[in-house]
Amino acid sequence: MSRHQPQVPEVRPLVNDKQGERGVALVMALLVVALLTITVTEFFFSVEIDARMARNSVHSLQAALLARSGIALGEALLIQDQDPLTDSFLEEWCPLQAREGRACQIDDGGGFITLPPNSRLRVEIWDESGKINVNLTRPQTQAEWRAGRMNPNPEQSPQRYQSWLFALGRLIDSHPDAMTALDDYWNQLFEFYFGPLSPSTTGTSTPTDGSPGVQTPGLTGTPPPLTTLYFGSLDEVTAVPGFLTPAELGRLRPFVTAFGWPFPSQVNANTAPREVLSAVIGDAQVVEEIIQQRQTQVLQASNVLTLVNAASTNQDPAYRSARMMLGARSNVYSIRATAIVNINPMTGTGGISRSAEMVVRRDPRQVQPGMSGGTVTRWKLTRLYWQKEPGAVLFKPEFESRDQSEF
């Protein structure tokens, strides 16, 4: 009897086992290298972005500070004026006057200022007193308001504020409804302030200090003085219902302004734009004569009066008030500055720019004898308005072409 041995299956070794392990390790290594490459690349990319952001922040700060330095330069020039009786861009404090004498220009290309490499700075000083102040279209006293409201023929014998209203209307004759809206705004304000006109109040007088002469039925307590009822800036005028839009009013900024009390009652003929002079005088020949003379000499108040009296339209009732509307002094100025840093040295373009604007009031604080026998004027500057904005406002081609056409 034979015994059968159980057959054991033959186990063959896997010949490629170690090779498979090496293949898996290689794939894992490649994945790790790829992940590390992506991580390192992302890290360097993030570092580069952060570095650029940091540089841009530094350049933005430098441009903003340089623009503020331009504002300070304009303020420093304004207090160098030594004549408190007349104001012109021909005086010693202004390095260069713009065409037709409408602004003072300070540019880095003129050698007046020295800047760091790859930087630019441009400063302009505009005379706000050479523009029509919207606040002058407001009656200055209760009596003037009542006289204007009861005036049957304001075109023939206008009140002082009505003369300014007509001049402003001629300046923006394409929007006649705007003047009606502005006049209605002042009338409604005075009616709320003093009460509506009635036969019993037509003879009410107004104190010389500008305080209300009667108590308004709609108000309780003592009303504020009239000196508080004005537009603090031109942007506030857009709140008048039916008046110009912000875009339309923005295009009038070279000719129209709005600043607070006390505001001068005359436009400076030495610095007023041609459009403003035409709106006030109405005689193109006299306007041209004023512009030609003021480019070579500082016009005194007597010179202005003589030129205005020679106007062929000075008998026209619509322009009869030109004598009292024009003068030769200023006290409110707008200083505008634009700075550019990190300009491409190869092309001269690019860079980061910032602009700023400040409106200041300049009043003579003290006039004292000078060492050389003349007089020395000490000025006080009061800041009325401040605005900053991005961009190279004074370097834009459209701004330069607009200024050249306006100058």
Mean pLDDT over 169-185 rounds to 87
Per-residue pLDDT at 217 exceeds 60: no
Place of tokens 């929007």: 175
pLDDT tens for 49-104 read: 777 778 778 888 889 999 999 999 999 999 988 888 899 999 988 988 877 777 89
> In 279-300, which positions are buried (b, 16+ CB within 10 angstroms) versus exposed (e)?
bbbbbeebbeebbebbeeebbe
Q: Are 302 and 327 in contact (CB under 8 A)?
A: no
101 Rama class: left (phi>0) / alpha (psi -120 to 50) / beta: left
Cα 324 from Cα 136, distance rounded (Å):
13
For residue 354, pLDDT over 70 is answered with yes
* Per-residue model confidence (pLDDT) at position 403: 41
372 pLDDT more than 70: no
16-25, 165-174, 363-372: the lowest-pLDDT one: 16-25
